[in-house]
Structure 1
Amino acid sequence: MLDTVHGAAETRGAGGAILSPRGEGEGCAALGTRHILKVPAEATGGSTSVAEVVVPPDGGTPLHRHGREDEVIQVIEGRVSLWCDGTLREVGPGAVAWLPRGSVHAYRNTGDTEARITVTCLPGGFERFFFAVAAAGLQAPRDMPALAALARDYDLELLGPNPIPPRG
């Protein structure tokens, strides 16, 4: 599902600064989460992208590795467990994780309510993976071969199911 959430994604300042209010931006629903693009790679010359991701309870990512970008995840609301290179940690609002390219990682919302995180990719461009998944109507685990093929186009390697135990 592709849509625009609450109007324009950004307001530009005279010097090129971007202000993107909460909940506003180009959005899509993909792989059980809602992605709202706050700062598209196109707006930064490809150097960075920022997305707001709304994750339902027990939602998260499969175990994966990025070959092209570093990733920064910041928890805005809720409780999220992060698994990175064999280390598991549950964190809450204000927590920040730096996930360098090549690190094996996953996250899961381990709280009882939706979690809201921001995901910053350096360089930008990976955010378009979720829009491609949504446009193709792909779902996990039903469409894993097609998801894996699409992931390769973004230098993303899907390594297996999420290693973080679900709640309850």
Structure 2
Amino acid sequence: MTEENTVANGAIPPDDRTRTLVHVRPDDHKLKHIAIAGGIYTILVTGEQTAGRYCLIDMRVPPGGGPPPHRHDFEEMFTLLDGAVEFTFRGESTTVRAGETINIPANAPHFFRNSSDQPARMLCMCTPAGQDEYFGRVGDAVDGPTASPPALTDQERTERQKRAAMLAADYRTELLVP
């Protein structure tokens, strides 16, 4: 009996002993911290660690920070830990506050912005994974979650935007900016 048939018949597949427990500690020096979209994103759990099922990202978003309008073919869920962030989903805006969770369905246009004068922090889970790799390729590595993003020249900022646009399709993402 194949694994597909086993699941279809209601039985749970056998334990995949090649997969290991993932235990993340905030002071782990192996964590990747990336400056992107005005904030610092720490990749807590990678797609590689979950066999591509999901990734988990700790996002620290300063006042005014956030990505441009975009959409992608994967689910994205955010839980606000601190502060408040304004999410725009299909053109409608809503403010999400600490303790609240919001789920963005696959393919829906959206973006978020910290429109307050205080930093915000949220966890973002993407399923399936891939966003963790995309961020690593388009952002700038920094030393830790509370590091300041590098001061970029206008030319460097333009280069990052071009790289993000060029790689977007490889990561099932469409940037909705001119």
**TM-score normalised by the chain length of structure 1:** 0.77
Which residue does 1:127 correspond to in 2?
132
Which residue does 1:156 correspond to in 2?
173
Structure that is richer in helix per residue: 2
C-alpha separation between the residues in 2 aligned to 1:72 and 1:139?
30
Structure 1 vs Structure 2: percent identity of aligned residues? 29
C-alpha separation between the residues in 1 aligned to 2:161 and 2:32?
25
Structure 2 counterparts to residues 18-167 of structure 1, below 5 A:
18-22=22-26, 24=28, 25-67=31-73, 69-134=74-139, 140=157, 143-160=160-177
The answer for unaligned runs of 5 or more in structure 1 is 1-14, 162-168
Confirm or deny: 8 A CA contact 2:138 2:160 kept in the other structure.
no
Structure that is richer in strand per residue: 1
- Find runs of 4+ consecutive structure 1 residues off by over 4 angstroms: 135-143
* 3-state SS in 2 of match to 1:20: coil
C-alpha separation between the residues in 1 aligned to 2:36 and 2:162?
16
Confirm or deny: 8 A CA contact 2:65 2:113 kept in the other structure.
yes
Number of equivalent positions = 146
Confirm or deny: 8 A CA contact 2:35 2:140 kept in the other structure.
no
Which residue does 2:145 correspond to in 1?
none
Which amino acid counterpart does residue 44 of structure 1 have in structure 2? T
Instruction: Give, in angstroms, the shift of residue 100 of structure 1.
Output: 1.2
Confirm or deny: 8 A CA contact 1:30 1:131 kept in the other structure.
no
* 3-state SS in 2 of match to 1:127: helix
| CA pair 106-139 structure 1, distance change in 2 beyond 3 A | farther
Which amino acid counterpart does residue 23 of structure 2 have in structure 1? L
Instruction: Give, in angstroms, the shift of residue 143 of structure 1.
Output: 4.6
Higher deviation after alignment, 126-135 or 56-65: 126-135
Q: Write the deviation string for residues 9-29 of structure 1: whole angstroms up to 9, x where unpaired.
A: xxxxxx944332346522111
Confirm or deny: 8 A CA contact 1:31 1:140 kept in the other structure.
no
